[in-house]
Structure 1
Amino acid sequence: MATLKLSDDFYEPTCSLVAVHCPMEAYRLAYFLNLHLQIGLRRTAGKEPNEGDMLSEYYEWENRMEETVWSLIVNATRTTVSSAGNALFPSDVLTMTKYLIPEMKKVDYFLKIDNAEGYDIDRQIVQRINKIPRIATAYEVDVNQLKSKHNLIFL
C-alpha cells in the first residue's frame, strides 16, 4: 500500500503561536485569558473530557470582526494503560504522555491565533499574558522553526 506524505512546502502556517508555562487548570487559564485579553474563549461544544484525547480541553473563540480564530490547547495529555494479561505482573499500570509539540515538552499550553497577520504579538498580547498571576512565563514561538508544525494544521 502506498503511503502519501505532506511535503514541507505544502503547509505554510498563517498563525501565531504563544507558549504559556502555567500550573493552572485549562479552564482557569481560559478564564484569565478572557479577562485580561478581552476575548471569549469557550470550550468547544460537544467535546466531553476524555482521557488521552489531545482535544479534550480545547478552547476556541472566533473574532468575526478581525477574522481571527483564537485557540487554547493543552500541550501534554497523560493516559493510563493497564497491562492486564499482557505483562508478567497484571497489576502494572503504565502512564503514557503525548505532546502536541514534542520538541517543547516543558510548555503547558499553547495559544494559537489563526490569520494573525498584523497582530503585534510579542508586544501587546504576550505582555498582557505575563501580567496574569500564576503564569510563570509566556513567549511567542516561531512556527516555521518547529519540526512538528504539521500537528497544528487540524486545530
Structure 2
Amino acid sequence: MGMLITHKISADLYDDSFSLIAIHSNLEDYAITYAINSTCGLYLKRMKKDLHLNDSMSFSVFDWDDEINDVYWTLISNKCEIEEETPSLGLFGNNISKRTDHLVKERKDVDYFLKVDVADEILFSQKIKAINKISKVITAYPLDTQNLKSKRNLIF
C-alpha cells in the first residue's frame, strides 16, 4: 500500500504543473532578484540550499510562496561557474581556469528561469511584461516546458 503512494507522488512530480519564464540578462543573481521583486511585487529570497546537480555544479535559487494568490515562485540561475585546476609542469602552481556550465543545457542562451507553480494566464503574462520593463533585462518570455529535455533539472 505504502509503495503505491510513493510511486504516485513521484509520478506527479513530472506533470506540467509549472510554467516557465526564460530571462536573458547579465545581471548578477542578487541584482536580478532585487529587480524582479521591486518590479513585479514578488518577495523572492535566496534559499538556504543551492540546487546541486553533482559535486561540482550548483545553481542559486530564490523562492517565494505567495499564499494570497496560491502561487509558488522560484528563480533559478541557469549558469554556474566551475573552477578547474589544470596541473602545471613548471615552477608555478596549478592553473585555475573557469568554465560556465548550465542547468538546462539545450538553452544555454537563457540566464535565469522563473518557475511559476500554478498561476492564471493573466497574472503570468502581467509578470512577463513587468520583467521586460527591467532595464538590464534583454528579454523575458514564456518557455514551453514540454519540449525541454532537461526539464527534470528544474523539478526539485
Tell me if TM exceeds 0.5.
Answer: yes
Aligned residues: 140
Q: Does residue 23 of structure 1 match 2:29?
A: no
Other structure's SS at 2:114 match:
strand
Q: Give matches, 1:1-155, under 5 Å.
A: 11-45=14-48, 52-55=56-59, 57-84=60-87, 91-116=94-119, 118-120=120-122, 123-154=125-156
Deviates more, 1:91-100 or 1:129-138: 91-100
Shift of the alpha carbon at 1:123? 3.0
Where is the helix percentage greater, Structure 1 or Structure 2? 2
Deviating beyond 4 angstroms after TM superposition, the runs of 4 or more aligned structure 1 residues are 87-90
Q: Separation in 2 of the partners of 1:92 and 1:37? A: 43
Q: CA RMSD in A?
A: 2.6
Counterpart AA for 1:37: C
Shift of the alpha carbon at 1:153? 1.2
Counterpart AA for 2:46: R
Where is the strand percentage greater, Structure 1 or Structure 2? 2
Shift of the alpha carbon at 1:53? 4.1
Q: Partner of 2:6 in structure 1?
A: none
Shift of the alpha carbon at 1:148? 1.0
Structure 2 residue runs of 5 or longer lacking an equivalent are 1-10
Q: Partner of 2:8 in structure 1?
A: none
Question: 1:19–1:140: 8 Å Cα contact kept in structure 2?
Answer: yes
Question: 1:81–1:95: 8 Å Cα contact kept in structure 2?
Answer: yes
Q: Separation in 2 of the partners of 1:10 and 1:42? A: 23
Shift of the alpha carbon at 1:125? 1.4
TM-score (norm 2): 0.78
Q: Separation in 1 of the partners of 2:95 and 2:124? A: 46
